[in-house]
Structures are given as C-alpha cells and as structure tokens.
Amino acid sequence: MRTLLFSLLFIVSIVRTQAQSFYEIEWEADIKYSALVAFYDETQIEVRVKYIDPNGIYRVAKYLCEGTADTDEDGETFFIFDGHDAEVVYSADGSAAAYNADNFIFTSVNEDNEFESLFTIDDVDLEREDITDYLIEATFRLLDPDVDFTEQFIFDFFEKNEPEYALYLGLVNEATNPNPPVEQPPVNPDPAIAKPVLHLVMVADVEDRSIGNSTAQDQKDVTTTFTKITREMGIDMKQYQFSGNTFNKEAILNRLNGINNTTNDIIIYYYSGHGYSDTEKSSAFPTMALDGTDIGLEEVSEQLKNKNARLTLVIGDMCNSLPESRAA
C-alpha cells in the first residue's frame, strides 16, 4: 500500500504551509489524459486536463471538484472529488468540443490516512449500476513548482494571456530566492478600506434519513456558489462546515464566538435541516432541530449582528411548523 497521505488533515496542512499545492494525475482510457490539479482547501480543487482526442486534436479542459469522504457497502472508507462544470478552453483547430468532468476516487483509506488505489470515472459512468466495471486506475504525484513548472509545462495547460500562466511561472524559485522582496504590512489599516472576507457558516443535517440527501446537496451547492462568488469578486472566503458529529449547539456557538471579523467583512449563516416553531417562545423565527439541544434561528441572528460586520445574512432552509395546540 502506498503511504501518500490523502485526507482532510493532510490537505489542510498543505494549505496552511503553501497556500496552495499542485499535483499531476494521469490516466488512460481510449486516449491518454494528464491533469494539473491545484488544491485550495480541504473541499475543493481546480483541474486542467490536456489530451489529444481520437481525431488528433490537442485540447485542454477545465473544471472544479468538491471533496467528500464516505464508506462503501463493505465499510471501506473512500474519498471522492466530484467534478462538475467542465468546459473545453482550448482546441488546437479552434473547433468546439464538450468534456465530461472526471471524478477522482481514493479507495481503502485507513486510519493512518493511507490509500490503496486512485481511480477516475466520469459523470456518465458514475451513474451506472456497477461502477467498478468503469473505474480507470490513475497515477498521482506531488509537483514541485521549482522543478516541474517549466515554461513548456505551464503552456501545455494555459494560454499565455491567462493570469494563471504568469502566476504559476512566478512560483518557480519562490522558495529558494535568497533575497525575496519583503512586503511591509500597513500600519493600523483602516477596516473600512481593508480587503473584506466572506465568512460562510454552513450547517446541514446530512445524516437525517428523510432529508439527508437533499441537505447534503444544499451543503455542496451553497459552498460552491459562494466560492465562485468570492473568486469573481476577488475577495477571500473562510468557511465553517457543521454536519455529522459537529451538528450540535456547542460546536456551532463556539465557532460563531470565534469568528474574528472586521467591520468590512461579510458573514453568511446557512442552515439546511429540520425546524419548528417553539411554542414556549415568542420569537417568530423557527428553531433549528440539532443533535442534542436545539437553537433558535433568532439567537444566532442576534449573536452575529453583534459582530458588526458590513453585511450579515442568516438563512434557514427549514420548516416553521405550528403545533395544533398553539393559538393562531
């Protein structure tokens, strides 16, 4: 078994030390594919894949992937990066083409975060009854920008007028430059003009038997949407995900208390799960049905408003059912 660490903790450690890290994944079906993968955080990667199609046309496609861990019917843990929004961004002959986003599956992940095999499978085959017949084994290696990011390597995936072209080449020798420029931090930056940060708090009842699938989809869609929005706006995003063993009042309130925001930041709280109207309270807001003690949505709203962010949104995708015993 290979001992490449591939887990949430591993990716988080990479992000903290390198801001982002890069990998090359290669596989072969009817043709050979080579992907440049950029990791930004524990839930999302960006992929550029180059290939020569059956007609001999060199093409490059791009797409995003979201990562989740799960177990199969035999109790084996696996990790999947689910690809979506694929598009062909370069064709050597200028012709239009479509591309099905690939999904990357790391199988038999053990307690030491080692995995046994890496496979790829596209969205079409992922929907089949027996996907094991359609899995394609792939290779996986960490890239060292100082060694691997040659001009030709980057040009294979990016046009010279794309911002990533100059950005990735700029990473070469970044770590070994003996006299890197020293950027002095501003003195007492004005929070009114400082670069804002969007803080996304996502709470989803993914383990509920009746609504778990839909709330898990909400968690994925909401996170992806705000990730795209912040990238388009050119601002940073910090996300705090609560589901499974963190789907409880203590974990949520502790995290809300710990959000360190400026008055120029944005805070968005999104809850997807069961809710009800608490007859013992006068609040018109519903109560979130959590594991253990529940929380009123108004309580969360008041706590976040006290942080004095530039914009605070509290969203509850939930019922506000009124018991029959309560007067109208």
Q: What is the pLDDT of residues 127-179, one digit of tens each?
A: 887 788 889 999 988 898 888 999 999 999 999 888 888 888 888 765 444 45
Each residue's pLDDT tens digit, 100-120: 999 988 887 666 666 678 899
Tell me the pLDDT band of 65, cut-offs 50, 70 and 90: confident
pTM here is: 0.49
Q: Tell me what pLDDT residue 320 has.
A: 85
Please list, in sequence order, all residues whose beta carbon lies within 8 angstroms of the beta carbon of residue 256, skipping any fewer than 6 positions away: 201, 269, 300, 303, 304
Per-residue pLDDT band for 200 (boundaries 50, 70, 90) equals very high
Over residues 236-266, the pLDDT tens digits come to: 889 999 999 999 999 999 999 989 999 999 9
Residues in contact with 292: Cβ distance below 8 Å, sequence separation at least 6, in sequence order: 248, 249, 250
List Cα–Cα distances, 202 to 46, 115, 142, 199, in angstroms: 21, 28, 31, 10
For the cut 50, the answer to whether the pLDDT of residue 7 exceeds it is no
Q: What are phi and psi of 318, to 5 degrees?
A: -165, 165
Q: Is it the case that residue 194 has pLDDT exceeding 70?
A: no
In this structure, are strands 197-204 and 236-242 parallel, antiparallel, or unpaired? parallel
Whether 281 contacts 295, CB under 8 Å: no
* CA-derived radius of gyration, the chain: 23
Helix (H, G, I), strand (E, B), or coil: what is residue 290? coil
